[in-house]
Amino acid sequence: MGLKWLSHTLSVLLFVSLSGLISLFIVSHTLLNAHYIEGQLQADQAYSKLSVAISAELAKDAGTTDPQVTAALQNIVTPTVLQQKINSTLDQLQAFYLGNGPAPQIDVSDLVAQAQAAGVPVPANSNLSKPITLGPPNQNKGLGRSVDGVRLKSLLISGLLLVALLAVCWKRRRYTAPASVLIAISVLYGLLAAAFLTLPSVIDSHIRFDFSANAFAGVGHDLALAIAKNLGRDYAIVAIACLVVGIVSRMLIKRLQPAAVIPTVKQLPPTTAPSFVKK
């Protein structure tokens, strides 16, 4: 009874540890990865959308609605220029998360100078005339480094729990507990995949936003929707992999594990009735 309770406890702890480890791994390679965000922005044509939006915003700040001014700004704030600046800022942001650099900055002062030279009346004291710092200027420990530390600890804990669970399984001569943990993880990530793949569409169908009035909100919305769908796809892959490995492992274990021997009651030979007993 004690070994059975210990097996259940270790299985639950291993389930929690492995689930957290998988989530940390996915987050590290998606939301905390600058190249992943850059790829999503490029796939959603965000740089072209931002070029139009920023040009219109600069013309509005300059107090002009002249189409020629807007066209001149679009020739300055091109998608290629924005891609270079945004990607550079994302790389700085990733280094900042890892604790390997200062707070990231985005510098569009050269674009402001080009706009002023083209005759756009951008105020000289505009906030865009100097680099904009994103986040606190000093950071002793990066978020990414903290995530890596937690991931390493989760990996070590998961390994120790797995070894302990296998030892208990060997003691009980029942080895299906690790496979059951994988099947439980597949159910969890299957639910997460369904949520990430369906909830964005459900929210869009019930909540209406006028993205044409704010292009920046539209770009952010499209980016969040694309990331949610990609996370749902990644969670679905994890769920299918864990389910297949778990089921195959259980089948192999049951096939290889010898059947339990059921003790039988030894039958006594029939006794001969005494001669004086009347038949």
Lowest-confidence segment of 58-62, 127-131, 212-216 by average pLDDT: 212-216
Q: What is the pLDDT of residues 109-127, one digit of tens each?
A: 888 788 778 777 776 666 6
Would you state the pLDDT for residue 261?
Answer: 45
Q: Which residues contact 59 (CB under 8 A, 6 or more apart)?
A: 65, 66, 69, 70, 73, 120
Helix intervals (H) in the chain: 2-28, 34-43, 46-61, 67-76, 79-97, 109-117, 143-172, 177-206, 215-256
pLDDT at residue 260 in the model: 47
Q: What is the pLDDT of residue 92?
A: 83
**Share above pLDDT 90 across residues of the chain, in percent, rounded to a whole number:** 24
What would the mean pLDDT of 9-25 be, rounded to a whole number?
93
Structure tokens at 200: 């964005």
Residue 140 has pLDDT above 50, yes or no: no
**Which H or E run includes 98?**
none
Which residues have CB under 8 Å from 56's CB, separation 6+? 70, 215
pLDDT at 93 over 90: no
pLDDT mean over 202-210: 65
Most confident of 38-47, 89-98, 134-143, 269-278: 38-47
CA-closest candidate to residue 180, choices 114, 250, 132, 125: 250
274's torsion region: left (phi>0), alpha (psi -120 to 50) or beta?
beta
What is the spatial distance between Cα 191 and Cα 188, in angstroms, rounded to a whole number? 5
Average pLDDT, integer, range 24-32: 86
Q: Quick one: average pLDDT of 18-38?
A: 88
pLDDT tens per residue, range 256-279: 766 544 455 555 565 555 555 554
63 Ramachandran zone, left/alpha/beta (phi>0; psi -120 to 50): left
Q: In the prediction, which pLDDT does 15 show?
A: 95
159-197 pLDDT tens trace: 999 999 999 989 888 888 999 999 999 999 999 999 999
- Residue 124 has a pLDDT of 67
